[in-house]
Amino acid sequence: MSFNWARAKSVNLLLSTNLKNNDLLKRAGIPESWESYLSIFDDNKNLKSQKITDHALLKFNKNEETNYKPESSIIIEFANTDFSLDGIVKFAEKYGRLGIESSFDFSDSYVELANTWLWELANVRNVLSLITHKQNLSVDKFSKLLKIDLGTGLWEFENNRSKTNDVNFPVYIFPTGNFELGFDKELIRFKENLNTENMSQVIEDILSVIFFNFYRDRVKPIISSKENKFTSEVQPVSLIGYIWHELFKILENNNIIRNCRYCKNVFTIGMGSARSDKVYCSNSCVVNGTRTEAIFKRYEKDFQKKGYYIRKSGGNTDNQFDYWLINKYNVLIGGIDIAQSQISEFSQKWDNQCKIIESKLNANNLAIAFLINKEGRKYSFSYASTVTGSFIENIPDISIWDEHLKMFSEYLKYKKELEVQKKALQEMQKIKESFLDNLQEDLTIPELKYDIKNNKEVA
Ligand SMILES: [Zn+2]
């Protein structure tokens, strides 16, 4: 297969709220484009039910495009994209538009809705997690995503992990609807509770539904003939088609999917590969991962003795700590970071290090953190107006945080209320602006034309 695509030299991020009423893009109908996309790719109305008024848009300049041939690993890179505007813009700058249906095709540019990108990403990531579930066959874990009604045999699958600050992107699938009409296959009805056998079957069904929706219409057959012999192969019609095509190949080839133990990114291992026990995605992750774990292992027992429970972080964004701290009520209270350097309060970069910890605390609404450096110097950080680490000789007993955590939860309540008020104010501001916008349009005085002969006004 020879699939080629083009990337634009620059990608601009626009916000629909900032567009003027007479902007070509606004007139082209952004809400209608979103509706039309959802009518194809959101069968179960997960997103339709959420009212989205502001849209972020990716604009790709048509001039100065560069042609390239994507590598098959692009699927893994797409899946590892951070679930945020920042994440997709970075991907867009590297690979160009996705070629998503119901996008805008203007004379000088293509424009795609950021939410369509995020919905594709949510579904791609869900497929990879389904394949992982199918490989591990852990009934306990998967049963959290699947509701079964033994009376009717019906089931509902819901993966609610992909969300931004404003919108949830839950993948929800149940065994009814267009799928059976368009595809001659009955989906599984449960006669008994989830077990390894029917789990494998239901995952196959869910995957079939997803590929039916996202893949089927994004490839076309290419027919060729040579020396009286005809052949055909399928070829993607867009970059998003290529991504789904490569995702399908992972399934088809039974590749093993794993999350890197250090950076948490997804990586694949070929079936029957000699290195099927790989836990790190790259050589640099082998080095960093082994070092981090070695440093942490030295102090793990100390934390446990002082009443902390510890969980290894499962995410891979900048906002995640290496380890999470949990109290005896199973409540997340803080995080631990391991530095592979000798960073200390005497280092030039110390202020910066404190800022990193502060932003992690902020992003996760947490009150306490620890930092351990390569030499085992330990620092504690607690949430206050500014966050600076203080050197500690020993890890303190968990109970010393009780008062601090109580105050922090009061502060969180207050913060939430403020956010609600701020949102309400923003809404009012928007209404005011659109009112003024419309007013200006209505107030342009129409030119009066006077028909002298008939002595009357002409409309
Ligand atoms: Zn890695």
Give CA separation, 354 vs 340, 358, 360, 387, 389, in Å: 16, 6, 10, 6, 6
User: DSSP label at 396?
Assistant: P
Whether 396 and 300 share a structural domain: yes
From the CA of 80, how far away is ligand 1's center (Å)?
Answer: 11
Query: Both tokens of residue 247?
Result: 């995702």
Whether 213 and 290 share a structural domain: no
Beta bridge mates, 183: none
Q: How many Å apart are CA 95 and CA 93, to the nearest integer?
A: 6
> Is residue 444, in this structure, part of any structural domain at all?
no
Q: Out of 200, 218, 236, pick the residue that ends a domain.
A: 218
Residue 403 belongs to what H/E stretch?
helix 402-442
Question: Residue holding tokens 């595809």?
Answer: 183
Whether 155 and 52 share a structural domain: yes
From the CA of 19, how far away is ligand 1's center (Å)?
Answer: 40
- Name the E strands within 339-415: 368-372, 378-382, 390-392
Q: How many Å apart are CA 101 and CA 112, to the nearest integer?
A: 9
Question: Residue holding tokens 């007013």?
Answer: 439
> Is residue 412, in this structure, part of any structural domain at all?
no
Burial class (CB in 10 A: 0-12, 13-18, 19+), 310: middle
Whether 292 and 147 share a structural domain: no
Residues of the chain with pLDDT under 70: 177-184, 271-274, 315-317, 385, 440-459
From the CA of 285, how far away is ligand 1's center (Å)?
Answer: 5
> Is residue 275, in this structure, part of any structural domain at all?
no
From the CA of 316, how far away is ligand 1's center (Å)?
Answer: 9
From the CA of 282, how far away is ligand 1's center (Å)?
Answer: 6
User: DSSP label at 150?
Assistant: T
From the CA of 290, how far away is ligand 1's center (Å)?
Answer: 11
Quote the pLDDT of residue 64: 87
Q: How many Å apart are CA 265 and CA 303, to the nearest integer?
A: 27
Query: Both tokens of residue 19?
Result: 């567009």
Domain count, the chain: 2
Determine how many CB atoms are found less than 10 A away from the CB of residue 162. 19
Q: How many Å apart are CA 447 and CA 92, to the nearest integer?
A: 47
Say which residues have a Cβ less than 8 Å from residue 229's Cβ, sequence separation at least 6. none
From the CA of 390, how far away is ligand 1's center (Å)?
Answer: 31
Q: How many Å apart are CA 97 and CA 234, to the nearest integer?
A: 21
Q: Are strands 56-61 and 449-451 parallel, antiparallel or unpaired?
A: unpaired
Quote the pLDDT of residue 459: 47
> Is residue 167, in this structure, part of any structural domain at all?
yes
From the CA of 365, how far away is ligand 1's center (Å)?
Answer: 26
Residue 275 belongs to what H/E stretch?
none
Give CA separation, 273 vs 132, 250, 254, 393, in Å: 17, 14, 11, 47
> Is residue 236, in this structure, part of any structural domain at all?
no
Contact status, residue 186 vs residue 180, Cβ threshold 8 Å = yes
Whether 23 and 132 share a structural domain: yes
DSSP per position, 85-113: HHHHHHHHHHH-----TT-EE-SSEEEEE
Alpha helix (H) ranges present in 443-452? none
Residue 268 belongs to what H/E stretch?
strand 266-269
pTM of structure: 0.77
Whether 60 and 185 share a structural domain: yes
Q: How many Å apart are CA 109 and CA 97, to the nearest integer?
A: 11
From the CA of 128, how far away is ligand 1's center (Å)?
Answer: 16
Whether 168 and 64 share a structural domain: yes
> Is residue 54, in this structure, part of any structural domain at all?
yes
> Is residue 360, in this structure, part of any structural domain at all?
yes
CATH, residue 307: 3.40.1350
Greatest distance between any 2 Cα atoms in the chain: 101
Give CA separation, 255 vs 87, 215, 232, in Å: 26, 19, 25
From the CA of 266, how far away is ligand 1's center (Å)?
Answer: 8
Q: Out of 162, 192, 218, pick the residue that ends a domain.
A: 218
Quote the pLDDT of residue 450: 56
From the CA of 289, how far away is ligand 1's center (Å)?
Answer: 8
Burial class (CB in 10 A: 0-12, 13-18, 19+), 172: middle
- Please, what's the b/e burial string for 257-288 (b: 16 or more CB within 10 A of its CB; e: otherwise)? bbbbbbbbbbbbeeeeeeeeebebbeeebbeb
Whether 319 and 401 share a structural domain: yes
Whether 190 and 326 share a structural domain: no
Determine how many CB atoms are found less than 10 A away from the CB of residue 319. 14
Whether 155 and 296 share a structural domain: no
From the CA of 267, how far away is ligand 1's center (Å)?
Answer: 8
Whether 317 and 202 share a structural domain: no
Quote the pLDDT of residue 277: 82
Q: How many Å apart are CA 324 and CA 320, to the nearest integer?
A: 9
Q: How many Å apart are CA 141 and CA 12, to the nearest integer?
A: 41
Quote the pLDDT of residue 453: 55
Whether 181 and 65 share a structural domain: yes
Query: Both tokens of residue 330?
Result: 């199973």
Q: How many Å apart are CA 72 and CA 88, to the nearest integer?
A: 18
Q: Out of 382, 406, 430, pick the residue that ends a domain.
A: 406
> Is residue 77, in this structure, part of any structural domain at all?
yes
Contact status, residue 238 vs residue 99, Cβ threshold 8 Å = yes
Quote the pLDDT of residue 48: 73
Q: Which domain holds residue 48?
A: 5-218
Contact status, residue 104 vs residue 37, Cβ threshold 8 Å = no
Quote the pLDDT of residue 278: 87
Question: Residue holding tokens 């088609």?
Answer: 241
Say which residues have a Cβ less than 8 Å from residue 415's Cβ, sequence separation at least 6. none
From the CA of 125, how far away is ligand 1's center (Å)?
Answer: 17
From the CA of 82, how far away is ligand 1's center (Å)?
Answer: 14
Q: How many Å apart are CA 292 and CA 288, to the nearest integer?
A: 6
Quote the pLDDT of residue 142: 95
From the CA of 348, how far away is ligand 1's center (Å)?
Answer: 28
